[in-house]
Amino acid sequence: MIEQRNNKTDLKNLSQDQLVEFVEGLGQPAFRGRQIMSWLYRPGITDFEQMTDLAKIFRKVLAENACFSHFHNPVIERAEDGCVKFGFKLDDGFMIETVLIPEPDRNTLCISSQVGCAMKCAFCLTGTMGFKRNLTPAEIVNQVCAVRDFLINEPRENLIGPDRVTNLVYMGMGEPLNNTENVLTSLSIIQEQKGLDMASRRITVSTCGIVPQMKRLGEEANVNLAISLHAVDDETRNTLMPVNHKYSIDELLEACRQYPIQKRKRIMFEYILLAGINDTDNEARILAKKLRNIPCKINLIPYNESPELPYKSPSKKRILSFQNILREAKYSVFIRSSRGSDISAACGQLASKN
């Protein structure tokens, strides 16, 4: 279903194909849809009147039937390490968060796919908010548009990385594969050359493991997949991640084996290290065994502690020992550095107060 604002269709909810259908419904030829697409995602375009290659009369018809939304005045917090957290207020008053993670050669944007989250992972603050609602495609792509505009306006000397968003991860608030339809539409807009024109290899969707939806993502999009694994046995994973009751580790890993990855691409397994819970050498060995035959890399995430939750991060020594075992088993293993934690922008810390 396509969302409407004031009975007008928000064109940013539409993939290019849907936009073509929309203009055809207004009695226009298909190419007008593609023409509009190429205006919608240009910086500084806020009014149909600016779309100068459309006939005046058609611009008027468009304005009567459609609109295109933007995020305005985000709440911006800057971390000491250069991360920037954006809080966007939605039309119905909910807030969502988006995090820009700059590095010298790239700007990774971590975007949200839902308000809150239904998955109730025991260690994650977003989970404690509960699920409020899915984001629309427009609300997903507008996060990218707003941060693109922020980077355009930011003084060069403030920039650590490039002046544009280079990489996109669906790792903010929410479970993207509980909102697959809208996530797929957002992906098609983001990848479309007349849309935001980002390459699929620079886009990653992260999931806690909604197995049937992984299949759909693999069939309908061509993006990198990240899996929040976080445990090697069902008993531990059941207590940490209730979704595991529905889709066990073995089912999840089988779905990963089936996931169509392109040559040279690998699935990324995310594994939060929680002191005393999933961080022993033995668990590292089991992990190495379980991931055999899956082209993958492993991202170890030292737990970002929060006063609201009981979990602790292991010692540096424990983390390195865990990494070492996986390295010896010939995996590419990275320890994800915690970024933006002084402004609660790090993994698992996104949670709005309302």
Least distance from ligand SAH to the Cβ atom of residue 42, Å: 30
What's 259's DSSP letter?
S
Q: What is the 3-state secondary structure (H, E, C) of 99-136?
A: EEEEECCEEEEECCCEEECCCCCCCCHHHHHCEEEECC
**# of chain residues touching ligand SAH (CB under 6 A):** 16
User: How do strand 106-110 and strand 167-170 relate by DSSP bridges?
Assistant: parallel
Query: Which of 303, 325, 339, 340 touches ligand SAH by CB under 6 A?
Result: 303
347 binds ligand SAH (CB under 6 A): yes
Torsion angle, alpha carbons of 192, 197, 199, 202, to 10: -120
Non-local CB neighbours of 46 within 8 Å, separated by 6+ positions: 70
Question: How many Å apart are CA 199 and CA 123, to the nearest integer?
Answer: 32
The active-site residue, picked from 97, 139, 192, 305, is: 97
Name which of 142 and 313 has its Cβ closer to ligand SAH: 313
203 binds ligand SAH (CB under 6 A): no
CB atoms within 10 A of CB 272: 26
Query: Which of 101, 109, 124, 287 touches ligand SAH by CB under 6 A?
Result: 124
CA-to-CA dists, residue 25 to 6, 122, 188, 194, 290, angstroms: 19, 47, 21, 21, 52
Active site (annotated) includes residue 97: yes
Name which of 33 and 314 has its Cβ closer to ligand SAH: 314
Question: How many Å apart are CA 172 and CA 131, to the nearest integer?
Answer: 14
Least distance from ligand SAH to the Cβ atom of residue 320, Å: 17
Quick note: the x/- pattern for ligand SAH over 244-273, rule CB under 6 A, is --------------------------x-x-
Least distance from ligand SAH to the Cβ atom of residue 250, Å: 19
Query: Which of 171, 198, 223, 291 touches ligand SAH by CB under 6 A?
Result: 171
User: Which of 156, 155, 134, 137 minimizes the C-alpha distance to 145?
Assistant: 137
348 binds ligand SAH (CB under 6 A): yes
Name which of 137 and 348 has its Cβ closer to ligand SAH: 348
Query: Which of 123, 247, 259, 322 touches ligand SAH by CB under 6 A?
Result: 123
Question: How many Å apart are CA 182 and CA 248, to the nearest integer?
Answer: 26
Active site (annotated) includes residue 77: no
The residues carrying an active-site annotation are 97, 347
Question: Which residues contact ligand SAH by CB under 6 A?
Answer: 121, 123-124, 171, 175, 206-208, 228, 270, 272, 301, 303-304, 347-348
